[in-house]
Amino acid sequence: MIHPERIKILNKNPVRDEKYLLYWMQAAQREEYNHALEYAVELANQRNKPLLVFFGITDQFPEANLRHYSFMLEGLREVQKALQNRGIRLAVQLISPTEGILNLISQADLLVVDRGYLRVQKDWRSYVAQRIPCSMIEVETEVIVPVQSVSSKEEYAAATIRKKLQRQLNEHLKPLDKASLTRSSLDFDLVSTDLNSPNQTLNRLKINQEVTPSPIFKGGTSRAKELLDQFIEHKLDHFDNMRNDPTKDYCSNLSPYLHFGQISPLYVALRCADLLSPGKEAFLEELIIRRELSMNFVNYNRFYDSYGCLPQWALNTLEEHRTDPREYIYSLSQLEHAQTHDPYWNAAQTQMTIIGKMHGYMRMYWGKKILEWTESPRQAYEITLYLNNKYELDGRDPNGFAGVAWCFGKHDRPWKERPVFGNVRYMNANGLKRKFDIDAYVNRIAELKNKS
């Protein structure tokens, strides 16, 4: 049974009596722990209809490139096989998702869709809801507590959203069972891209081929679950104390999989909830409180992808110090190619460009230094967001937008005033040296670069 707060009817059109029930998969690219999918199965069984699942691959998704599409296709191949085992046809087409849905809707009783929080995702759903003749139902599955159940406004920081989330966790932190589909849709004769030939599919897309696939991270729910198993067994106990050390590997590395909806945050939380581990609370703080704060931010702040999203105190202090002298000024090209005087920053940038993921603590340092080394805070913001979205597998999503904004004062408080930063939190290389064997991190990234 899906919690009613996850369900939202997007138009006033009727439920019809046609050939099948249609689920538009977009944000939740998985067969497991997918509330939208299970709700669609439930409705299909009630109506004694087969369920068809559709996924449209557009080469116009903002800032997505070969690295992102390659990872996504690896995951979709698994989804297609898993759905087939349940008697459900997944039709993947190289078409705008909105156009693909409009092509299929004439024979659908109703349309179910998962929820997305980005502007493009909201626009897609609104566009379709206004143009189809049947009911359209959105089911929220990328968070543990539905965003609007937590708060009706943008929250200032983790401190203001934490209690609101914690009050509702027990109600939503519950397992999601799979239902068996009564009528199969496998015999439907529909055009679908061959996901077993990903290179052929990628070659048909007009996308940026400059950023190559990650040599480390491969897409798919099975790989995400392997990483989760390894994290719980070998890392979770030390997560609280070791997660910020870039010379160690105590991160879960699940963010790319959460980004593409290849693993459910609810599934991850349930795997950890009953463990007696000293690192559990710190991990759940990041998975639930911090992650869902970012969903709140993107959902309620229409400037989430621009400098204007920052709190007024941060905008004021950064503008007051906009003309402060900078010891170093670097161009976008110099930054992108890791050509600065700082070996720690260069290592972080190199790690991101090669594997598609930067250590979380280094990403904070990385963003702070861009603010320090560019001509204006607005330019720094644009460069930081550009690089993060271009190279990170977990960029271009609420966590990514919130992470960049944090470097400039979002979800933080004013600190001691200093040049360039004003009252925005400052980080420096001496702090890295004091806390970690940071040269070991530089050496490890150098080895990674030599192998690539």
From edge to edge, which strands make up the β-sheet containing 136-139? Answer: 7-9, 136-139, 108-114, 20-24, 51-56, 89-93
* CATH number of the domain within which 290 lies: 1.25.40.80
Which backbone phi and psi does 22 adopt, to 5 degrees? -115, 130
pLDDT band, residue 452 (cuts 50/70/90): confident
- For residues 219 and 51, the answer to whether their CB atoms sit within 8 Å is no
Give the H/E segment covering residue 89.
strand 89-93
Whether residue 206 lies inside any domain: the answer is no
Task: Give the three-state DSSP class for 10.
Answer: coil
- Please give the pLDDT value at position 158: 98
Nearest residue to 401 via CA among 245, 291, 264: 291
Interval 273-327: pLDDT, tens = 999 999 999 999 999 999 999 999 999 999 999 999 999 999 999 999 999 999 9
Is 366 within the bounds of a domain?
Answer: yes
Cα torsion angle, 355, 357, 358, 364, sign = positive
Supply angle C-alpha 79, 87, 115, rounded to 5.
45
Query: What is the rounded average pLDDT of the residues 423-431?
Result: 97
pLDDT, tens digit (0-9, with 9 covering 90-100), for 368-379: 999 999 999 999
Which of 272, 300, 328 is the endpoint of a domain?
300
Q: What is the pLDDT of residue 441?
A: 97
Domains in the chain, number: 3
Q: In this predicted structure, what is the pLDDT of residue 276?
A: 96
Mean pLDDT along residues 168-197: 94
Residue ending a domain, among 262, 282, 300, is 300
Query: 286, 294 in Cβ contact below 8 A?
Result: no
Question: Percent of the chain scored above 70 by pLDDT?
Answer: 100
When pLDDT is cut at 50, 70 and 90, the band that residue 1 belongs to is confident
**Cα–chain center distance at 292:** 11
Task: Give the pLDDT band (50/70/90) at residue 239.
Answer: very high
| H helices, E strands: number in the chain | 21, 6
Backbone angles phi, psi at 440, to 5 degrees: -65, -35
In the chain, the amino acid numbered 269 is A
Whether residue 334 lies inside any domain: the answer is yes
Mean pLDDT of 98-120: 98
Domain for residue 213, yes or no?
no
pLDDT digits (tens, 9 = 90+) for 6-54: 999 999 999 999 999 999 999 999 999 999 999 999 999 999 999 999 9
Tell me which residue range forms the domain holding 295: 143-178+220-300
Percent of the chain with pLDDT over 90: 99
